[in-house]
Amino acid sequence: MHKPGKVSISNGVMMDRLGYGLYKVPADDAHGLCTLALEAGYRLLDTAAMYGNEEGVGRAVLDAVSAGYVERGDVFVTSKVWNENHGYRATREAFDESIRRLGLDYVDLYLIHWPCPAKDLYVESWRALEELYAGGRVRAIGVSNFQRHHLEKLLSQTEVVPAVNQIELHPFLQQQGLREFNAEHGILTQAWSPLGRGSLLTNTTITHIAAKHSRSPAQVILRWHMQIGVAAVVKASSRGRIEENLRIDDFTLDAVDMAAIEQLNSDTRVGSHPDLVN
């Protein structure tokens, strides 16, 4: 299977470049879809307290370990503290709740889901994440939806540099400046909604490139993410799509393809603007 490889994040922990995302996966479906994803070869599962499906995710990991086809150490589980739990104490408690729902001894990556600038408590939440990291309850800590000014404040007031910044990123929203800022600080950029939540799949530039390589539009877009050097988490709801999205390491987009996709940037979001979520 030609699946994307791993990347070393800033503290040396290895993380899969392409993971399976669980936003809007109903709680009752999470165990089954995570099991499909693990069977297909995914080793990174991206959930969050807000998704309401941590319990099924954790159970799928433990069942796969019991079945003997993965070890716990081979699976990278990400979760995130939700906006209503910002602040030092609330974040510590939210983590305890997440890990209880997951049923795991540790989480591989724990993120602040949104900066929530009107609350202005993300520095306090970060101090809670730093303690969790120092205590070994998480293997790495990071942020999500942080823009440059949120990161600048965090970096100037805290010790540990986030290992990851998970942001909306796809050909319609290429985030060049933020990607560069992340890279300058050793922060890995991880794309959410890498397919623009499906909106890119019928774009004619993408479909032409897909036809040229005899690949699907989703494979072309995910391949583009790998070639610009970011990680990504993608969601799909059927075995066929889950497998298809992972088969992206046996073809290469050429310079003409990459230039055509670069032209698609319109700074258009499918999600919310990080300064407006609180």
Ligand X SMILES: NC(=O)c1ccc[n+]([C@@H]2O[C@H](COP(=O)([O-])OP(=O)(O)OC[C@H]3O[C@@H](n4cnc5c(N)ncnc54)[C@H](OP(=O)(O)O)[C@@H]3O)[C@@H](O)[C@H]2O)c1
As measured in angstroms, the least distance from the Cβ of 236 to ligand X is 4
User: Considering beta carbons, is residue 128 or 236 the nearer one to ligand X?
Assistant: 236
As measured in angstroms, the least distance from the Cβ of 273 to ligand X is 12
User: Considering beta carbons, is residue 234 or 261 the nearer one to ligand X?
Assistant: 234
Q: What is the DSSP secondary-structure string of 145-177?
A: S--HHHHHHHHHH-SSPPSEEEEE-BTTB--HH
User: Considering beta carbons, is residue 98 or 166 the nearer one to ligand X?
Assistant: 166
Structure tokens at 184: 């300058």
Q: Give yes or no: 106 in active site.
A: no
Helix 148-157 vs helix 122-134: crossing angle, to nearest 10? 60
Residue nearest to ligand X (CB): 21
What gap in Å lies between CA 59 and CA 181, rounded to an integer? 37
User: Considering beta carbons, is residue 128 or 195 the nearer one to ligand X?
Assistant: 195
Residue 109, C-beta contacts closer than 8 angstroms, at least 6 positions apart:
15, 76, 77, 78, 79, 138, 139, 140, 141, 142, 163, 164
As measured in angstroms, the least distance from the Cβ of 47 to ligand X is 7
User: Considering beta carbons, is residue 134 or 239 the nearer one to ligand X?
Assistant: 239
Which of 20, 23, 42, 51 is catalytic? The answer is: 51
As measured in angstroms, the least distance from the Cβ of 195 to ligand X is 3
Neighbour tally for 176: CB within 10 Å: 11
Structure tokens at 161: 């540099």
Q: Coil, strand, or helix at residue 199?
A: coil
60: amino acid identity, one letter: A
As measured in angstroms, the least distance from the Cβ of 68 to ligand X is 27
What gap in Å lies between CA 277 and CA 84, rounded to an integer? 11
Structure tokens at 225: 């993410």
Per CB under 6 A, residues contacting ligand X are: 21-23, 46, 113, 144-145, 166, 192-198, 201, 216, 218, 233-238, 241, 244-245, 271
Q: Which residues are catalytic?
A: 51
